Structures are given as C-alpha cells and as structure tokens.
Chains A and B, each alone.
Chain A
C-alpha cells in the first residue's frame, strides 16, 4: 500500500464525514487564518510607514537644538557652519520655524492652515515644485521680506487659483504671495500638505510671537549617508554646547527603522498568540483522532487480520491526521486572504488612509507546512494507539 493510496484513503475518510472533519479542522483554520492576517497586517503597516516617510525623503535628518538654560537662541549660523564643514555628506539645510498664528484672507480666519518659516532650499529638499510665480530666494531671507509662497489648496480655495500678487495675513503681519506650489497630496484637503503658507525663516522669527525656534531640516546626498551626516551634525553641535542633551538629531531612515521594529515586535507577539491557537488546533485534531480510533477499532482489527502491518496502520492514521490538518491549513490560508482583503477595505473606509494588508508567501508556506506538521505531530499518538491494537480484541469490539 503506497503513499498515494493511503492519501486517497485518507481523503475518502475525511470526505465521508464532512461535518466532523470540518470541526476537526476548525482550530487549524482559525490559527492559520490568524497568522496570515496578522503577518499581512504587519507587512501592510511596514509598507505604510515606508511610504509615509518616503514622502519626506529618506535622505532627511531632523535636528532639534534646545540649547542650554533658558536662552532661546536660533543659531542658524552655527548650523550653516557645520554644513560648510561637511560638504561630502551634508547637502542642504533649512531652519524650520513653525508658527501658530492664524491665517487671514480678507476678513476670514483659517485656523487649520499651517504656517512655516523655511529657507530658500526647503522646496528643493522636499522635492516640491513651484507652479506659479517663484519660490523663496536667498535675498528674501537676508532682507526678511514680507513675502510668502502658498500651497495649491490655499491658492485654489481662497484665491480662485490666482494667488500670486495677492496678500495674506499671518497673525498681524501682511505678506505678499509671490508663488504657488504644485499639488503635493493626491487629494488636497484642509489642513493637509497643500494647505500651507511658507515664508522666509528670518521673517518668521522676526514677526512670530508663538513660533518655535531651533528646528532644522538637513538633507544628505544619499540615503546611505544618513548615519554619517547625523554623526557630523552631532559632533559639530557638541563642540558648541559641550552637552549631548542640548540637541537631538534624528534621521528619517532611523525613524523608519524604529517604527518598523516596533511594528515587528507587536507582530511577533501576535504571531506567537496565533501560533498557540495552532497548537490548540493540533490538540483538537488529536482528540478527534483518538475518538476516531476508538470508533474504528473494528476496521483496524479487520485490516490487521487481513495482513496490515503496524507500520501501515500507523502511516494510515498519521497521513489522515496530516491531510485533515493540511486541508484545514489551505482553508485557513484562503480565509486569511479573504479577511486580508476585507481588512484592507475596512481600513480604507474607516481611516481615509490606504493600507494594503499583504499576506506574504513565506507566511503562507510556513502556515501550510506548520499545519501539516501539527497533523503529523498530534496524529502520531492516536495513530500509534491504532497500530498497537490487538487484532483479536479489535475484532471482538462492537
């Protein structure tokens, strides 16, 4: 009796009592499905993080200079000096002055519009293009000009698409709009990336009462230089302040790594929980197989009387358990894919963010292998019980 025949016999037995077989498989189905969905969620979240940061640019470093004591110094000259000292890795710099004064167009106040003071390089650093008018220029920074560049949402919504030459008020300061940026987000919305007013950082620090100082965006030439650039800035700042608590430098690559490893940790924990449910499923299979061996005592007795060896009976029951479990695994994988698709839709609907729950083929293969393995493992004990039955006792059994 070869493997294929034993396998067919197993399929026959499974098919002959579908309801019971299904219930036997249920633990495995749920376990495998959970593993697939969890791994899919993990992948989706990692991808989402990567994508979100890819917007900012993976060659970006963020620098926060707190200084010492209460001095609210904005040492952009120091930062520019560090830039000049490390031209091999550091590329461009922009101070970032976030302002919280409300924006006014005419007599209307728009509280959700963001305002930031940046350098003339900022748009290039982020890859923003200018659609109308011009961007910020070095002389604007030097002269602390009362000018600004606005996002497309501002231009389209408040100026009918023709904002250049118009004026806008930030707090009590009137600024002339000299340019409009290209659309950035796929869909423009209030408070989004396109609802922005950018002015020279020098102007911002002059007029702002609420702005934050000491924030910088720095780019390196290539993503691989992120760590090197970070070190160069830290070394430069340490020379000035002599205190590692006076500043913080974070690279976007590093942020991605940190967040991805956080997601991974959560996923590992969840996967372990799901794996436990697989083991519980395996115990379920063992239970039903033990019952099945008892029920089929007579069959086993007949088979042994007709010449089945112990190894043959063992093989029959192990293969039956493994087949049951593997079928459960396949159903679980299918269900996992369906649930992943449903989860993707739900996330899109509920969070207005698109995140694709992507089950990995490695997870699928592992899940299948593990479920078949669990069948073998937990089928072995009942199978051995069957193989060891005394044929005479078994034939007498009713």
Chain B
C-alpha cells in the first residue's frame, strides 16, 4: 500500500542573520490513508514546520515530500494553492473563520476556490454543517458562536472539500478541557469514517487520543509508533536529553 504522506530526509532551514535554524532535520516518515496520527513535541521542536510542509504552505529546503504520490517540492505557488485546495483540510488553533461571513459562506470558501457551482456548494456546505451539529445555525456569524462551536465550523470547512488529509494544528489550544474532548472525539469519529487525520499538538493527553504518535524534538523524530506504548508519552528530557 502506497503512503498518502511521505517524508524522505526532509530538512527545513531558517536563516536568521548569521544563524541557521534547522527546524526539520532529516525527517523521514510516512502516513497511510485512514490513519489518525498525532505529531507531538515541545514548543520549538518543529511541529509547525512539519505541519506547514505537510500542508503545502511551504516546501522543504532539501529532501522529498510526496503527497498522494506527487512531489510537492517541485511545485510553483499556484500548483501549491491548487493541491492545498484539493487534498488538504485545515483546522487552525484560532479557528480562522471570516468574521463578516455567515457559517455557510465560511464553509463555502474552499469550494468556491475549487470552482464548484453555487447551488452544489450551498448544498455541500449545509451538509457538512449538519454533520458537525450546526445545521440550525447556518446563517449565523462566527462571533455569535462559542469557541467549541466555532472550531466545529472550521472542522466543517476542512471537511467540505472532501480532502485526502485533515490537518489540525493545535485544534484544542484555545478551548477548555470539556470542549477539547468534544473536538477530539469529532476528529476520532471522522477518522472512523475513513478520513486520514493528522493532529499537531504539544499536549500528550490530547496526542494519546490518536492511533499513532510521531514525537519531535529539535527537528528530529525521536519516537514514531503506537500511541498507547509507554515510550510514546515519556517526557522529552528523559528520553532524548543528550541531543540538546
């Protein structure tokens, strides 16, 4: 079975004047269709960098990233925009909804950029909003909703384009523990329905909800395996202090 996401020796360097930060340092890993993977690590470990590469928001400095078999590294900005639209559903920590648009219009945005006709777009947006339990609020503005509800809208928006990968960056970062659980359960549910979910978080208790954990530290993968193995949640300074 070919993998949906494949990193081969992916490096990402940031140049900060005289310094060069290696935010991703020879990362190799692969994620198959239908998996629920959590990428964990402390702040500064390279999670966002990984997420941006997976999300085709930028390309690796070196190494190869294959998404659904396509080499993202060789794509131009318009091709990247098109592949984001087609294959990826983003869920952000701050929801990132458009305050002036109602829920329907918010969910329609990726469909609009995909060139879907208006009637079909409407119907699809309604359908996914119902799926996340907001079918009765489609004409509301995001500001009229609670944080948890807003995050569900952003889940609906991510789902609308039927992407190959749902990419959630700290989706619970701005939520209390009860609503966090709700959102995670929703992601699990989506995974059970066959969606591939990649969850980025610094929180072990959230990460263990996934099937598999990829733990990063200083741009390296220091663990990649079952989320329920005891090594998956060991505190980083005990596990890999010598790399610091």
Contacts and interface: CB of A to CB of B under 8 A. Distances in A.
Interface of A: 1, 5, 12-13, 16, 298-299, 302-312, 390-392, 395
A299 B161 CA distance: 19
Nearest to B161: A307
Contacts of B86: 307
B109 interface: yes
A306 B110 contact: yes
Nearest to B113: A307
Ranked 7 nearest A-B pairs via Cβ: A307-B85, A307-B113, A306-B110, A309-B81, A302-B96, A1-B112, A309-B78
Interface string B149-160: 000000001000
Interface stretch (B38-46, B51-59, B202-210, B227-235): B51-59
Contacts of B82: 307, 309
B36 interface: no
A266 B58 CA distance: 59
A308 B81 contact: yes
Contacts of B57: 305, 391-392, 395
Most chain B CB within 10 A, of A5, A305, A310, is at A305
Contact of B109 (A13, A306, A390): A306
Contacts of A299: 98
B77 interface: yes
Nearest to A298: B96
B7 interface: no
Interface residues of B, number: 25
19 contacts: A13-B100, A302-B96, A303-B113, A305-B57, A306-B84, A306-B109, A306-B157, A307-B82, A307-B84, A307-B85, A309-B77, A309-B78, A309-B113, A310-B77, A310-B81, A390-B58, A392-B52, A392-B57, A392-B58
Nearest to B81: A309
A6 to B, nearest CB: 10
B110 A307 contact: yes
Contacts, number: 58
Given A298-B96, A305-B55, A1 B113 contact: yes
Interface string B87-102: 0001010001010100
A392 B96 CA distance: 13
B84 A5 contact: no
B68 to A, nearest CB: 15
A12 B100 contact: yes
Contacts of B92: 302, 395
Contacts of B109: 302-303, 306
Nearest to B98: A299
A306 B85 contact: yes
Interface string B161-202: 100000000000000000000000000000000000000000
Contacts of A298: 96
Given A302-B98, A305-B57, A392-B52, A312 B90 contact: no
Contact of B84 (A16, A305, A395): A305
A84 B8 CA distance: 109
Contacts of B98: 299, 302
B114 interface: yes
A5 B118 CA distance: 10
A1 B52 CA distance: 25
B58 A307 contact: no
A389 B229 CA distance: 42
Nearest to A387: B77
Contacts of A309: 77-78, 81-82, 113
Contacts of B84: 305-307
Given A307-B81, A307-B113, A395 B96 contact: yes
Most chain A CB within 10 A, of B92, B112, B118, B157, is at B112
Contact of A306 (B77, B78, B100, B113): B113
A395 B232 CA distance: 30
A64 B1 CA distance: 108
B48 to A, nearest CB: 8
Most chain B CB within 10 A, of A5, A299, A307, A308, is at A307
Nearest to B83: A307
A307 B118 CA distance: 17
